[in-house]
């Protein structure tokens, strides 16, 4: 559903610079300005999403989201504005419709494509609608502070949150409070995830202890289930086999601007760089070359790698690697644990980027 950038090789170039040698700085204002769909999803629209004929839920989701976007065309009215000047006696009535859409489904069914299409279809200026991953949203709160984040986003018509995940109790309370405040200010919400909103955090922390917050989050959304198989591998051959160290190094030197890293050194560097800066870490890099890829040793390292894989995929940066295949990055215990959906998404995306990188090796 989108094409990758495949930079032309131009003969020998200056020695490639390692991602692990980069120390990006991202000011808070850049975090806000970049809350738009990433390059891979800059041109997607509802009519470029191709529903699988065998999955009626995909067509139904397009229709529901298109109608939702059309309904956001009116003037922005804050929660305070709706309440009026004088308090009224509560009346018995049906609870209001959730002011949000929650796209639930497996990886690779086009949820991010649909979320970005909703952003593009919403009749509001870019500065009045925001798009970011769950990690980027929590990073924004860390950079601006809670109250300033509320003030920054409260005038928006729509907030889109991709890859909605709750990995710890602190995030549960933080996001529950933030979204509650934004909904009260009239901000519409849309989110994607591989987990139903009422089951967020399940298998990762004592979700039962935070049931009130989780149920509060679920109340903001109408869930749209999107079934189907991973489009990235639908009808395509298996991912290309890993290359040799020598071949990866040769390609890195032949492609202007490509990075070259030892996989272990890159993982160590990710531990020193905040995940909010992983996108900036890749700025201007047309291809990532990795030598010595091997299974990730622990869960903290694995989760950082998932974020990097998401940023590389968003930016359509091909990945050429030696070592073990990407489907062996995460051990059985990780793939059977609470973060398994994140790991499968990372494998899926890295596999697609490895396929994008195959022409580089052929031309170099």
The residues pairing with 104 across neighbouring beta strands, listed in sequence order, are 193, 225
3-state class (DSSP) for residue 38: coil
Give the pLDDT score at 84: 35
Give the pLDDT score at 31: 84
The residue from 171, 190, 225 where one domain ends is 225
Residues 6+ apart with CB under 8 A from 324: 242, 293, 294, 295
Domain annotation covers residue 140? yes
Lowest average pLDDT, out of 141-145, 165-169, 178-182, 258-262, goes to 165-169
Please enumerate, as own/partner, the contacts of 354-357 that have beta carbons within 8 Å and a separation of 24 or more: 354/239, 354/240, 354/318, 354/319, 354/320, 354/321, 354/326, 355/236, 355/239, 355/240, 356/4, 356/6, 356/316, 356/318, 356/319, 357/6, 357/240, 357/287, 357/318, 357/319, 357/320
The residue from 174, 205, 225 where one domain ends is 225
CATH of residue 280: 3.30.750
Residues 183 and 254 grouped into a single domain: no
The residue from 225, 256, 279 where one domain ends is 225
Residues 217 and 252 grouped into a single domain: no
Alpha carbon distance 326, 349 (integer Å):
10
Q: Give yes or no for a contact between 79 and 185, defined as CB atoms under 8 angstroms apart.
A: yes
Chain segment 163-182, per-residue pLDDT in tens: 887 665 667 778 888 988 99
Q: What is the mean pLDDT of residues 131-151?
A: 90
Residue, of 106 and 284, whose pLDDT is higher: 284
Residues 51 and 180 grouped into a single domain: yes
Q: Give yes or no for a contact between 194 and 134, defined as CB atoms under 8 angstroms apart.
A: no
Give the pLDDT score at 228: 85
CA 48 to chain centroid, in Å, comes to: 19
Q: Give yes or no for a contact between 61 and 224, defined as CB atoms under 8 angstroms apart.
A: yes
Residues 177 and 301 grouped into a single domain: no
Both tokens of residue 305? 């790698």
Domain annotation covers residue 309? yes
Segments in 167-274 forming alpha helices (H): 169-184, 211-218, 245-254, 263-270
DSSP 94: P
Domain annotation covers residue 138? yes
Average pLDDT, the chain: 82
Domain annotation covers residue 2? no
Residues 173 and 285 grouped into a single domain: no
Distances in whole angstroms, Cα of residue 173 to Cα of each of 108, 180, 192: 29, 11, 19
The dihedral of CA 310, 314, 317, 319: what is its sign? positive
Residues 48 and 152 grouped into a single domain: yes
Residues 66 and 184 grouped into a single domain: yes
Domain annotation covers residue 217? yes
DSSP 131: E
Chain segment 86-96, per-residue pLDDT in tens: 334 444 444 45
Domain that holds residue 257: 19-26+237-363
Q: How many residues would you count in the chain?
A: 364
For the chain, the domain total comes to: 2
Give the pLDDT score at 208: 47
CATH of residue 196: 3.40.50.300
DSSP of 3-30: ----PPP-SS-SPPBPGGG------HHH
Residues 283 and 196 grouped into a single domain: no
Domain annotation covers residue 84? no
pTM of the model: 0.76
Chain segment 186-234, per-residue pLDDT in tens: 999 998 876 544 554 444 434 344 345 556 667 788 888 898 876 665 5
């Amino acid at each position: 559903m989108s094409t990758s950038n495949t930079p032309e090789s131009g003969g020998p170039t200056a020695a490639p610079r390692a991602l692990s040698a980069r120390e990006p700085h991202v000011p808070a204002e850049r975090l806000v300005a970049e809350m738009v769909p990433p390059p891979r999803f800059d041109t997607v629209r509802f009519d470029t999403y191709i529903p699988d004929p065998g999955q009626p839920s995909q067509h139904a989701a397009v229709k529901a989201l298109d109608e939702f976007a059309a309904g956001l065309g009116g003037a922005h009215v804050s929660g305070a504005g709706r309440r009026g000047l004088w308090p009224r006696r509560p009346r018995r009535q049906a609870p209001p419709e959730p002011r949000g859409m929650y796209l639930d489904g497996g990886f690779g069914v086009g949820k991010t494509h649909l979320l970005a299409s909703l952003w593009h279809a919403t009749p509001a200026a870019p500065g009045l609608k925001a798009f970011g991953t769950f990690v980027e949203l929590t990073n924004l709160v860390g950079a601006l502070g809670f109250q300033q984040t509320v003030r920054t986003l409260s005038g928006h018509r729509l907030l889109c949150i991709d890859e909605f995940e709750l990995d710890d109790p602190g995030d549960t309370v933080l996001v529950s409070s933030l979204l509650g405040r934004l909904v009260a200010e009239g901000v519409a919400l849309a989110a994607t995830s591989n987990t139903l909103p009422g089951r967020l955090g399940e298998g990762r922390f004592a979700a039962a202890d935070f049931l009130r917050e989780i149920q509060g989050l679920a109340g903001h959304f109408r869930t749209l289930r999107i079934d189907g198989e991973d489009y990235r591998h639908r009808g395509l051959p298996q991912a290309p086999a890993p290359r040799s160290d020598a071949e990866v190094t040769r390609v890195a030197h032949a492609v202007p601007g490509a990075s070259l890293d030892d996989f272990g050194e890159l993982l160590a560097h990710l531990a020193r760089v905040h995940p909010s800066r992983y996108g900036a870490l890749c700025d201007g890099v047309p291809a990532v070359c990795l030598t010595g890829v091997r299974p990730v040793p622990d869960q903290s390292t694995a989760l950082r790698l998932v974020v990097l894989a998401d940023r590389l995929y968003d930016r359509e940066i091909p990945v050429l690697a030696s070592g073990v295949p990407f489907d062996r990055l995460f051990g059985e215990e990780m793939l059977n644990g609470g973060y398994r959906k994140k790991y499968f998404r990372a494998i899926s995306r890295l596999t697609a980027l490895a396929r994008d990188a195959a022409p580089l090796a052929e031309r170099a």
